[in-house]
Each structure stands twice: as C-alpha cells, then as structure tokens.
Amino acid sequence: MMLPMDTRPIGVFDSGLGGLTVVRQLLQLLPGEDIVYFGDTGRVPYGTRSAETIEKYARQDCRLLLGHDVKLIIAACGTVSSVAPQVLSHLAVPAMGVVEPAAQAAMDATRSGRIGILGTAATIRSASFQRYMLEARPDLRIFSQACPLFVPLVEAGWIQRDNDATIAVARRYLQPLIQQQVDTVILGCTHFPLLSPILSDILGENVVLIDSGAACASRCARELERYGLLNHSKKMGECRFYVSDCPDDFTHVAQMFLGREVKEDIHQVDLEFLASRD
C-alpha cells in the first residue's frame, strides 16, 4: 500500500539564527524532509519590539515562506509564538510556535511543580507560557525571568562553557530561579539551548532544561503525520537558507547552531520588498 506523500518543504522562520536549533532537530527527526529557513537578521531582535511590530514582521515572514510553497510553518521564535500567535492561526497551511510544545514538555518533566521560564523581554511580558500551563494545571508554581543579553551573546559566539562574561550574566539571570527552587526550566527562546552547558552548571544536574526547539520539532513530526504531509521518499532532504541582512557571516554562525558544516548557498531577501507586500 502506497503511503500518502507530500514533497513540499517545511518552512521555518526566526528573528535571527536561533531558529536553526529547530532545523537541527528536524534534520535528525525527519531527514527526508526539505526545509526552507528564513532568518530575519536585518531586524533582529524581535524581543525588544512592540506587539504591533512583532505581529507585522511575523505576517511578512509567513508570507515569504508561503511563497516557497511550504506545507507547514514553524515560528521558531519564542517572541512571535508568545506575542503574535494569532498570525499562525490564520494561514492556509498548518502552523505552530514553540510555546505549547515546550510548555507541555515542562509539565511532563516537573516533579515538584515549580517551573522556571527564561525568555526575551517580550516573551516574558506576554506571560504566554504561564497561561498555557496554568490553564492545564492550576497547582503549578511558575517563575519567569527575562534574559535580554542572551541572544546577542549567543549570536556573538560567546557560548563556551568557560566564558566568564556569559557565565556572569547567566548567574545574574538564574539566581531568582535558584532561590525559588525550580526543578524544570523552559528555554523559551531558540537561541538559549546553545547556552545549556553553562545553564546546567549553574542550576545543577537535578534541574531539567526544556529545549523549546526540540519540543517543537517533535510536535512538527506528529502534525505532519496527522495531516498526511510526511515525505516518504528515500532521498535526504535539502535545506534552503534565506536572511534579510548581509549573508557573509551566516555560514560561521549557522554552523554553530546546526552542528554541521553549511555548504548550501545563502540567499538575501530585500527587506523593502518584504515590507511592500504587507
């Protein structure tokens, strides 16, 4: 019996390159799928923008991916997923963010019911993770911490386990969560998994870190199967990368996020063209 098959690519977008952590997980889970990735590097970060601006950028990002005939869209951006989820609910294809998959994974992992959330300023202001979890489990105790310096530190490549500057910043951000004795921490931005070794060293081995990218990729695999959209061909999938700023530095930083060499061409998207279609 022939299984239904859809060879269209999966579309993934983020304000910068953090969403490549989702791509990395997708490549492991769904090696036969093609992926189109758009990193809005010309307007990063989204986390410091107004809700109206974040929604506008998200609409433009989705429109760009739909122009590549994608079959599903992932907002691999905690800020968009938290502040502008309505954009994802009005598309012609299935779409998802990182909030619900990560929140569910945290609820499954916690032993004490005390959960911490690390995110951008906009994500924390939105209280999106808290709302989702408390609707399901009002007994939970949830503590959030905005970490605005984490994204620039990661994109600068300051992720080494012995980097004194990043360790100092992380200690400052994590201290309130340590005081609250959380046993599970959601990494609510897809940049943050690259800091996992540093965060684990500070929090201790008994605290579970929830990688929002990994949780989202797992949800994506289930959704593709649910909608009959999986690509069952035997060939390895291909990636196409698009950015909205100069692509010269993309390859080096992308290798850090993807954990592999980037041999694909990097294409630049004109921001004025994106905005003109809004």
Q: Burial level of 129, CB count in 10 A (0-12/13-18/19+)?
A: buried
Whole-number Å distance between alpha carbons of 93 and 242 = 20
Does residue 77 have an active-site annotation? yes
Among 62, 147, 189, 220, the one annotated catalytic? 189
Among 77, 216, 220, 239, the one annotated catalytic? 77
Helix (H, G, I), strand (E, B) or coil at 75: strand
Whole-number Å distance between alpha carbons of 87 and 108 = 28
User: Can the peptide bond before residue 45 be classed as cis, meaning omega within 30 degrees of 0?
Assistant: yes
Whole-number Å distance between alpha carbons of 234 and 54 = 38
Radius of gyration of the chain (CA): 18
Whole-number Å distance between alpha carbons of 35 and 26 = 9
Cβ neighbours of residue 19 under 8 Å, at least 6 residues apart? Answer: 12, 13, 37, 39, 74, 76, 77, 190, 213
**Structure tokens belonging to residue 232:** 């069952």
**Residues annotated catalytic, as ranges:** 77, 189
